């Protein structure tokens, strides 16, 4: 028996939507569970983003145990993982690993867990909904945590004709470190600034009217405090070019995301230059916005299930 899985990368926050807005990207974690009589084990295929320590595997197992229970036996077999997501770069690799664990446990045990329950479990594990929810459901997600209750969220298809350019600098910035940079309190003016733009961000993406996206992606709650640790970020946020809709730090960084309508090569080159003139090596990827979320393909029955998207 073999079951294949795919989980998209994600970009969270999009500037003003701190811990609330995320999008799925067409860059996918892929894995196959090959069932046998041996205890559960994980094998990562070689590649530039192959994990170099056990953290990624631990997140997969954490997702599995959240669904099966801490004392339950893990599915017997080998999970073969191909990971193209850069680790620790603000593209949702931890969320993708958690989601993969949930999907493996659900499929192997035949639980048929609802998407709503999957979302709730993933958000509980992550502590915030803006990466794990689009990793499961695809598209654009606007979400709110509700304490111990299941999160409230809306998922909609990404705007047509828009692509993402992701600038990935050769910098290290752990999420825990990036969160520690943020203040415990904010000025009223900065809070109002972000509330206005976060509301405009959700409305822009949901309606497909992207004329005000540049303003909507502005932020005063997290990007200014992280900029000193991401040389080149301030320069990319100031970029102006035909086809450029908006720029933001991707998640906690250090990657930077631009949403564009055409002119991708020129904009990508300008983003790289923002980092290279700060003496930081950088590569850029042009990615589609993922309409489909996580995928499960049971090879025995040839059944293909999409957790989210249409």
Q: What is the pLDDT of residues 2-52, one digit of tens each?
A: 999 999 999 999 999 999 999 999 999 999 999 999 999 999 999 988 887
The pLDDT, as a whole number, for residue 178 is: 75
Instruction: Work out the number of other CB atoms within 10 angstroms of the CB of residue 281.
Output: 11
Q: How confident is the model at residue 190 (pLDDT cuts 50, 70, 90)?
A: very high
Q: Which of 131, 122, 98 is nearest to 20 (CA)?
A: 131
| pLDDT greater than 70 at residue 310 | no
Say how far residue 225 (Cα) sits from the centre of its chain. 21
H-run or E-run covering 257: strand 256-260
Domain parsing of the chain, residue ranges: 2-157+290-306, 163-288
Mean pLDDT of the chain: 94
CATH pick for 163-288 out of 3.40.50.970, 3.30.70.890, 1.20.120.80, 3.30.565.10: 3.30.70.890
The mean pLDDT value for 64-72 works out to: 94
d(CA 226, CA 230): 7
Query: 3-class SS at 152?
Result: strand
What percent of the chain stands above pLDDT 90? 86
Tokens matching residue 247: 């720029």
Is pLDDT above 80 for 119?
A: yes
287 Cβ contact list (under 8 Å, min separation 6): 9, 25, 26, 27, 163, 164, 165, 166
The class (CATH top level) of 2-157+290-306 is: alpha beta
Q: Identify whether 254 is preceded by a cis peptide bond (ω within 30 of 0).
A: yes
Residue 29 has a pLDDT of 97
Is residue 55's pLDDT more than 70? yes
Question: What does each C-alpha distance from 39 to 32, 72, 102, 111 come to in angstroms?
Answer: 15, 12, 18, 20
Nearest in space to 24 (alpha carbons), one of 300, 289, 303: 289
The burial of 219, by beta-carbon neighbours within 10 Å (0-12 exposed, 13-18 middle, 19 or more buried), is given as buried
pLDDT at site 31 = 98
40: left (phi over 0), alpha (psi -120 to 50) or beta: beta
State the pLDDT confidence band at 309, using cuts at 50, 70 and 90.
low
């Amino acid at each position: 028996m073999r079951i294949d899985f795919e989980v998209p990368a994600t970009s969270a926050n999009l500037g003003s939507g701190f811990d609330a807005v995320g999008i799925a990207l067409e860059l996918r974690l892929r894995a196959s569970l090959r069932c046998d009589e041996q205890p559960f084990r994980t094998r990562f295929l070689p590649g530039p983003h192959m994990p170099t320590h056990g953290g990624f595997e631990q997140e997969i197992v954490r997702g599995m145990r959240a669904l099966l229970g801490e004392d339950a036996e893990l599915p017997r077999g080998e999970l073969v993982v191909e990971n193209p997501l850069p680790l620790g770069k603000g593209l949702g690799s931890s969320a993708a690993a958690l989601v993969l664990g949930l999907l493996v446990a659900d499929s192997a045990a035949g639980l048929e867990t609802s998407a709503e329950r999957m979302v709730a479990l993933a958000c509980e594990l992550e502590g915030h909904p803006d990466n794990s929810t689009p990793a499961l459901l695809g598209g654009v997600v606007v979400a709110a945590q509700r304490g111990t209750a299941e999160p409230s969220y809306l998922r909609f298809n990404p705007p047509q004709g828009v692509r993402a350019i992701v600038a990935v600098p050769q910098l290290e910035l752990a999420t825990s470190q990036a969160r520690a940079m943020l203040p415990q309190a904010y000025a009223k003016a900065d809070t109002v600034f972000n509330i206005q733009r976060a509301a405009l961000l959700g409305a822009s993406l949901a309606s497909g009217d992207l004329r005000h996206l540049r303003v909507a992606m502005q932020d005063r709650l997290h990007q200014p405090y992280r900029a000193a640790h991401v040389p080149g970020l301030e320069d990319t946020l100031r970029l102006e070019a035909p086809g450029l809709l908006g720029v933001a730090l991707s998640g906690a960084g250090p990657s930077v995301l631009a949403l564009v309508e055409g002119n991708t090569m020129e904009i990508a080159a300008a983003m790289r230059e923002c980092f290279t003139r700060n003496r930081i090596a950088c590569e850029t990827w042009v990615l589609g916005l993922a309409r489909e979320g996580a995928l499960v393909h049971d090879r025995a029955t040839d059944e293909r299930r999409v957790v989210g998207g249409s």
